Amino acid sequence: MRRMIISRAGQMPSYCVSFINDIPRGGKLFHCCQRSVVICTARNPERAVEAAKKRFARIEGICNWNIHAGRIELELINLPKIRQSTEASEAKHKRAQQ
């Protein structure tokens, strides 16, 4: 059974997945971020990476993410909760109409 990480507020964690190319130039190695993809909720880091790979490929118009990037970096991030539940949103809307 896989372990699921849940934040203190009961939400699944969010991740920023960056697609990187390492480019040697003039004796130095440059790390060039091709694109970062935010995954708002994922049960675990592996699922976040898989979702980001698919999204990156779709956005870039390619069939496989590693055509445009050589490696991936993953960062756990805290996103503010911006969505209200449907019921709370409807109740607020009804109060505003009265």
Would you kindly state where each structural domain of the chain is located, as residue ranges? Answer: 14-97
Spatial distance between the Cα atoms of 81 and 93, rounded to a whole number of angstroms: 19
At residue 6, the pLDDT reads: 45
Task: Give this prediction's pTM.
Answer: 0.71
Strands 28-39, 71-77: pairing is unpaired
Average pLDDT for runs of 10 along the chain of length 98: 47 93 96 96 96 97 96 93 56 60
Spatial distance between the Cα atoms of 25 and 39, rounded to a whole number of angstroms: 32
